[in-house]
Amino acid sequence: MFNQALNFRRAVMALALAACASLASAAGTLHVELNTGSYGSNGYIDIQLNSSPLGAVSTFANLSNFGNWGSSADAELSNVTGSLLTGFRIENVAGGYNDLFHAVDFSKGKVSFDVAFSGDADPSAQFGSTLSVSLFGSDKQTLLGNSSNVNGSLLSLNWTPSLTPGGQGSVASEVFGSGVVTTPVPEPTTWAMLAGGLALLGFARRRQQA
């Protein structure tokens, strides 16, 4: 009986590890949260997508699932399409100013969004793009949360395109400010796998107890 219980616990652990591994490798989509609890009531978020080096392959940052974003009345969009309702899409136009500057609500304690990258492959493995995120006060000039980075960004997401068309690129994050969290957004198949696995384990456990 002890061995059965031990095997059951091992099976549960293996399933949890498999699910975590799947979450860690989830393609592209990341959830970003910025702690704004000490920044007052209202301000602005600035999100830029820049190629590195100039002339990089075409890349897009697709933003969605906005948390505590404010009015779009005075939003500034450069090489950006879309809206809060449909999602924003930023393109890394070489030599361009690829920027989304938008009002946000600091009073709720956090500002958040999801981001997924897409674009052309880079067989030469020479190019990439960086999505940088900064917060400004209500005057649109005062940088918040980071005094150590020269451009004031709190977070950089460095995108490396796939080497082959249809392949999967990769994202590496650099955090420069406190209270910044990035987490993979699980694919629906991951949740289905976890739920199905737990159901099977529960069934097996009941049979052991019968």
Give residue-wise pLDDT tens across range 177-197: 888 999 999 865 443 344 444
Spans of all domains in the chain? 2-7+27-209
Measured CA to CA, the distance from residue 49 to residue 96 in angstroms comes to 10
At 201, the pLDDT band (50, 70, 90 cuts) reads very low
95-136 pLDDT, tens digit each? 778 999 999 999 999 999 999 999 999 998 888 999 999 999
How many other C-beta atoms lie within 10 A of the C-beta of residue 70? 19
Distance CA 175, CA 155 (A): 5
Task: Give the pLDDT of residue 194.
Answer: 45
The pLDDT tens digits of the residues spanning 65-93 come to 999 999 999 999 999 999 999 999 999 98
Query: For position 147, what pLDDT does the model report?
Result: 62
Planar angle of CA 127, 61, 80, nearest 5 degrees: 110
* CA-CA-CA-CA torsion sign (65, 31, 11, 14): positive
Whether 16 has a pLDDT exceeding 50, the answer reads no
pLDDT, residue 91, reads: 95
For the chain, give the mean pLDDT.
81
